[in-house]
Structure 1
Amino acid sequence: MRTFTLSETVASLQPSGIRKFFDLASSMEGVVSLGVGEPDFVTPWHVREACIRSLEEGYTAYTANAGLLELRQETSRYLKQRFDVSYDPKTQIIITVGASQAIDIALRTILNPGDEVLIIEPCFVSYASLVTLAGGTPVAVSATGDNDFKVQAEQLEEAITERTKAVMLCSPNNPTGTTLSRSELEQLAEVVERYNLIVLSDEIYAELVYDEDYTSFAAIRNMYEHTILISGFSKGFAMTGWRLGIVAAPAFFVEPMLKVHQYAMMCAPTMSQYAALEALRAGEQDVVQMRKSYKQRRNYITKSFNSMGLSCHSPGGAFYAFPSIQSTGLTSAEFAEQLLWEEKVAVVPGSVFGASGEGYIRCSYAASMEQLMEAVKRMERFLQKKDRTLHALSKKGGEY
């Protein structure tokens, strides 16, 4: 069989650690999954109906590369109304195939070979790989549990070199749920302005903030021209499978990004765009109800973790809890694997989100309350067995 030399860059990429556990869990019966970050809500019927109507009316052709103008206009209105940021729908917004594609085209547009991108960890697993694929160099900046995983401005500044081009920022954060306040964003903005950096602000979870009003990084003083805002419909609108994202930025970013988008993707799916149009126009109450439900689940799951001895901060947004499992003496991968095999509960080891995620696990509470209660019961049983094992070993003077 003929062999070929393939891309060394692609060969160096690691498969997603999230998918590894999801694939394993999906092959087992009776698993309660807190693994994959996907809403357990079905896309609201009126949104699905808008898609069906577009098909019935024959809207099956390509749209403009940047997306339906009508959808870009509605997106512009929405961003202004919700987050007080203004973007011209004709020149400053692209509808993408998910937020991941928006990040991809943004990085491919701004990076030259060797440019460094500061990535605040723990973080979504694709960030570093997308930087690498775009020819850049990912540089980890570790936020820690001691400060509820909130990166400090001085940490950012210490990581900057003459090669630093951009910062990847995600608030609310995946996997920790940490949400930065306006004052905390302002502190980071001072560093960004001082060193003239570009910020890719991943705001895909902006609709799912529970304790205070959300602040977009682009709305911070002097940050508009520094910011490429990434958003989409997957999380807040329960539209993961529709694959629709948003990138909004000053025209000098968007114009070259559109070239990358049109050659790689042509346009986002037409039927999905009509569904998104309905979601923006009439989906506010759907989002409110989902957010209310997630907040109840957050309160339950974080209280449960703390009660069973797994220290867990209260996440300000998204739908993830990130409890510490350091007290068990297990690594995050060992904990996740043993929990899956022994109690059939699927969680994601924190180590897949960066070195500072070690000692933690990501648990998605985008699951029904019944599933969460069952998961808590099984995890308590798992921890009790581990405690008995540790106690027995300590009496024998053994090691665990």
Structure 2
Amino acid sequence: MIKHKDHFHGSDLEKIEEIYGIPKEQITSFSANVNPLGISPKLRSSLIDHIDAITSYPDREYASLRAQIGAYVHAPAQSILVGNGSTELISLFIQMEHPKKALILGPTYSEYEREISLGGGTSLYYPLREEDGFMLNVEEFKKSLNESIDLLVICNPNNPTSTAISQDTMRKILDECKRYDIFVMVDETYVEFAPDAAEVDSIPLTRFYNNLVVLRGVSKFFASPGLRLGYAVTGNADLLKYINTHKNPWTINSLAAIAGELMFSDTDYIKKTRSLIDTERTRIYKELQSWDGVKVYEPAANFILARILKPGVTADDLFEHAIKKGLMIRNCSTFPFLDNTYFRFCFMSPEKNTELLACLKELL
């Protein structure tokens, strides 16, 4: 197993406050990858009206919530499973599949490897190559699949590379995995930020492949990590039945269930988010491409990965320089295959993004 070093997560503002003496309220986290618009206005104004919901148990079946999610992702409600954040669902599906050997596209989120290890399984990484811009070469990748692999894990768009796999390419992967009886788990935490989400979305494929589960949550796009609301979509009826009979009831509290019904229907918020991210992603990518001190990789999510080319400057240096100005970026040396020349940051408001670019340019 690849060893992961200690690092600052986007939610570790208390640690930053303790170490650097900067009040957490004065820190802008470019590390958390959360929607800069904050929570949906529709949710903010309506949730207080539903506060009495906490006096009763939520519906065990979460029928209304699953119907709303189904309308949002264009999938039948019966193929949807809800959980306490996508992290719980990652754990749940890995426990159910209980893989002896899993293949993970990396560098990526370390929680997949951790959960597989907790279940006694072994993780192998298929490295996305820097010389390919961290884009997957599907024909080369297919050669690495064989009958010894039980589970394939793909983050799409991927964290931290911000690269994405198209739906057509995912079909090729799924076809090859069917040959070897490999189950595929696709984490789509960031798919709604993609320039053309429909081109990357794997949920339509759940109608045709029973070896696929797609996971999503509300933490990033809907800026609601504290709600702990996630959902999974799969066309594998036997797997859904097994999980529903083994999982704990009421994994989502009443307010989170109501919040989900409200936020998924806030079309104005969804449009504003996509417009802001599209504009800032294009602007920042073009700006960084013009710098001699960094190499950037074309982003598909709401964050961008960069590699420092300037001699004598490391991601540690850049982090220290930015945090002293109350700007928190992510040192990516903790991810498999990346070293201390890689850093990542998400897109915030145009003003804050401009402030961060000016800060980074001072060293780069």
Q: TM-score range by the shorter chain?
A: 0.7 to 0.9
Matched residues in 1 for 2:71 and 2:284: separation?
A: 35
Partner of 1:277: 261
Change in CA separation of 1:215 and 1:274 when aligned onto 2, cut-off 3 Å: same
Partner of 1:196: 181
Matched residues in 1 for 2:208 and 2:312: separation?
A: 43
Residue 361 of structure 1 aligns to which amino acid in structure 2? F
For the pair 1:46 / 2:27, whether they are aligned, the reply is: no
Matched residues in 2 for 1:272 and 1:20: separation?
A: 20
Q: 2:111 aligns with which of 104, 109, 126?
A: 126
Change in CA separation of 1:122 and 1:312 when aligned onto 2, cut-off 3 Å: same
User: 5+ unaligned residues in a row in structure 1: which ranges?
Assistant: 1-8, 81-85, 384-400
Cα distance, 1:238 vs structure 2: 2.4
Change in CA separation of 1:107 and 1:48 when aligned onto 2, cut-off 3 Å: same
Change in CA separation of 1:329 and 1:147 when aligned onto 2, cut-off 3 Å: farther
Write the deviation string for residues 152-173 of structure 1: whole angstroms up to 9, x where unpaired. Answer: 2344334435431111112122
Change in CA separation of 1:194 and 1:162 when aligned onto 2, cut-off 3 Å: closer
Write the deviation string for residues 27-71 of structure 1: whole angstroms up to 9, x where unpaired. Answer: 443655322222222212321333222223x453332444x2111
Q: 1:217-366, aligned counterparts within 5 Å?
A: 217-220=202-205, 224-249=209-234, 250-262=236-248, 266-280=250-264, 282-309=265-292, 310-316=294-300, 318-332=301-315, 334-340=316-322, 345-356=327-338, 359-365=341-347
Residue 108 of structure 1 aligns to which amino acid in structure 2? Q
Write the deviation string for residues 118-174 of structure 1: whole angstroms up to 9, x where unpaired. Answer: 111121232211221233212111112322212223443344354311111121222
Matched residues in 2 for 1:356 and 1:147: separation?
A: 14
Q: Aligned with 1:225: secondary structure?
A: coil
Most deviating of 194-203 and 34-43: 34-43
Q: Aligned with 1:120: secondary structure?
A: strand
Cα distance, 1:277 vs structure 2: 0.5
Cα distance, 1:108 vs structure 2: 0.6
Q: 1:99 aligns with which of 86, 91, 97?
A: 86
Residue 32 of structure 2 aligns to which amino acid in structure 1? V
Contact 1:171/1:205, CA 8 A, preserved across alignment: yes
Contact 1:121/1:356, CA 8 A, preserved across alignment: no
Matched residues in 1 for 2:109 and 2:342: separation?
A: 15
Q: 1:66-81, aligned counterparts within 5 Å?
A: 66=61, 68-80=62-74
Residue 242 of structure 2 aligns to which amino acid in structure 1? P
Partner of 2:97: 110
Q: TM-score, normalised by structure 2?
A: 0.87
Q: 1:148-227, aligned counterparts within 5 Å?
A: 148-211=133-196, 213-220=198-205, 224-227=209-212
Write the deviation string for residues 329-387 of structure 1: whole angstroms up to 9, x where unpaired. Answer: 5554x34444346765422122222114663211111x22211111111111112xxxx
Contact 1:336/1:348, CA 8 A, preserved across alignment: no
Give the share of equivalent positions with the same residue, in percent: 19
Q: Aligned with 2:185: secondary structure?
A: strand
Q: Aligned with 2:163: secondary structure?
A: coil
Contact 2:82/2:229, CA 8 A, preserved across alignment: yes
Change in CA separation of 1:45 and 1:224 when aligned onto 2, cut-off 3 Å: same
Residue 73 of structure 1 aligns to which amino acid in structure 2? A
User: 5+ unaligned residues in a row in structure 2: which ranges?
Assistant: none
Cα distance, 1:248 vs structure 2: 1.8
Q: Aligned with 2:55: secondary structure?
A: coil
Change in CA separation of 1:284 and 1:157 when aligned onto 2, cut-off 3 Å: same
Q: 1:81-92, aligned counterparts within 5 Å?
A: 86-89=75-78, 92=79
Most deviating of 237-246 and 211-220: 211-220
Cα distance, 1:245 vs structure 2: 0.4
Change in CA separation of 1:358 and 1:181 when aligned onto 2, cut-off 3 Å: farther
Contact 2:295/2:309, CA 8 A, preserved across alignment: no
For the pair 1:18 / 2:13, whether they are aligned, the reply is: no
Q: 1:365-384, aligned counterparts within 5 Å?
A: 365=347, 367-383=348-364
Matched residues in 2 for 1:162 and 1:326: separation?
A: 41
Output the aligned Cα RMSD. Answer: 2.8
Partner of 1:63: 58
Matched residues in 1 for 2:245 and 2:5: separation?
A: 28
Q: Aligned with 1:160: secondary structure?
A: coil
**What is the aligned residue count?**
356
Change in CA separation of 1:255 and 1:312 when aligned onto 2, cut-off 3 Å: same
Q: TM-score, normalised by structure 1?
A: 0.80
Residue 253 of structure 1 aligns to which amino acid in structure 2? L
Matched residues in 1 for 2:7 and 2:245: separation?
A: 28
Change in CA separation of 1:52 and 1:352 when aligned onto 2, cut-off 3 Å: same
